[in-house]
Amino acid sequence: MSYRHFIAAAAAAGALALPFAAPAQQKQVWKAADVHPLGYPTIEAIQRMGKKIEAETNGRISIQMYPSMQLGGEKEMIEQAQVGALQITRVSVGALGPVVDDLNVFNLPFIFRDEAHMRKVIDGPIGTELLDKVSASSARLIGLGWMDGGTRNVYSSKPVTKPADLKGLKVRMMGNPIFVETMNAMGGNGVAMGYNELYSALQTHVVDGAENNPPSYLTANHYQVVKVYSLTGHLIIPEIFVFSKRTWETLSPEDQAMLKKHSREAQMEQRQLWDKMVGEATEKLKAAGVQFVAADKPAFYQATQPIREKYGAKYAALLKRIQDTK
């Protein structure tokens, strides 16, 4: 066998580490994706992280952001991260629950007392354990960190102050059975749909409403179509950002540790941006004529009890730890 043939055969068998395979010092541009537009807190936090990583590695590693669903909806972004077509994706835990079932504990209605409670949980041991579960799962993703996704409230063309107000209303929910059933339990008709399809679905009355935090309701322009924002507060779902395991395995342990360190900083920084954005979004929505309506939260809490029982049973011990987090 000639040397050339030997190299070809050995490479095909994966037996040789060829010089061009993965030099750790090679310049890398990590692709990051988000459904939100530039300026949104989740995007801003990842871009700031990119700048810090670029500085720390003297330009060897940088992050290129693909905002505004340029790479598709969250389901598509997750799939691209899984195969290594992109490196970082920031999605709602709602979207990742169907891929990593352990995360669904955060997708239960009224599981956090308020956003401060949610932050305590994601910052503490439970947050770390769940990130590790993502990394150890078969999802081919590495859990990097959490972000604040605020409190989700129902929006439609009419006030929704109690479960009876949702009767007959088709309300878009994220694609996860828990959410559809939650909306049904709240009194409406849950319809699973991607975020990327929602604006036109509202316009064409395929759905009568949806639910989200004020920044998303504003930046996705849904407020232009339906103008009543009812403070049902049924879901407080953290965001998560993950890394492609395929790329992760090519990184040096030092680069892996550096990325983890910066991810934690991004987690803590994003919430400052978030709090500011919620205030600004609320003002802008009010200025645009959106009506903010108080809702009977205890009634919605009660109506969704069967969902917590059905989906929460397997997390009983963890749920107790979440409730005990002060």
- Write out the binding residues for ligand GTR, residues 63-92 only, by CB under 6 A: 74, 91-92
CB nearer ligand GTR, residue 111 or residue 251: 111
Q: Name the segment binding ligand GTR (CB under 6 A); options: 76-84, 208-216, 228-236, 298-306.
A: 208-216
CB nearer ligand GTR, residue 35 or residue 100: 35
Rounded to 5°, angle at Cα 301 from 96 and 154:
65
Residues 6 or more apart in contact with residue 138 via CB below 8 angstroms: none
The DSSP output letter for 209 is B
CB nearer ligand GTR, residue 91 or residue 130: 91
Cα 198 to Cα 98: distance, rounded to the nearest angstrom: 20
CB nearer ligand GTR, residue 191 or residue 251: 191
Residues 6 or more apart in contact with residue 214 via CB below 8 angstroms: 150, 153, 229, 278, 281, 282, 285
**Nearest residue to the partner ligand GTR, using Cβ:** 92
CB of 117 to ligand GTR, least distance (A): 18
Q: How many CA within 13 A on the CB side of residue 183?
A: 30
Three-state DSSP at 95 gives: helix
Using CB under 6 A, which of 153, 156, 176, 213 touches ligand GTR?
213
Kindly state whether residue 93 participates in binding ligand GTR, applying the rule CB under 6 A: no
CB of 216 to ligand GTR, least distance (A): 4
The DSSP output letter for 152 is E
Kindly state whether residue 94 participates in binding ligand GTR, applying the rule CB under 6 A: yes
CB nearer ligand GTR, residue 61 or residue 285: 285
Q: Are 185 and 306 in contact (CB under 8 A)?
A: yes
CB of 315 to ligand GTR, least distance (A): 21
Amino acid sitting at position 90: R
Kindly state whether residue 216 participates in binding ligand GTR, applying the rule CB under 6 A: yes
Using CB under 6 A, which of 35, 71, 166, 281 touches ligand GTR?
35
Q: Are 213 and 41 in contact (CB under 8 A)?
A: no
CB of 72 to ligand GTR, least distance (A): 12
CB nearer ligand GTR, residue 149 or residue 209: 149
Using CB under 6 A, which of 174, 218, 259, 281 touches ligand GTR?
174
Cα 68 to Cα 34: distance, rounded to the nearest angstrom: 6
Residue recorded with tokens 């505004």? 68
Kindly state whether residue 212 participates in binding ligand GTR, applying the rule CB under 6 A: yes
Amino acid sitting at position 167: K
CB nearer ligand GTR, residue 96 or residue 251: 96
Q: Are 131 and 260 in contact (CB under 8 A)?
A: no
- Write out the binding residues for ligand GTR, residues 1-30 only, by CB under 6 A: none
Phi/psi zone of residue 21: left (φ > 0), alpha (ψ -120 to 50 degrees), beta? Answer: alpha
Number of residues that bind ligand GTR (CB under 6 A): 13
The DSSP output letter for 89 is E
Which residues are near ligand GTR by CB under 6 A? 35, 74, 91-92, 94-95, 149, 174, 195, 212-213, 216, 239
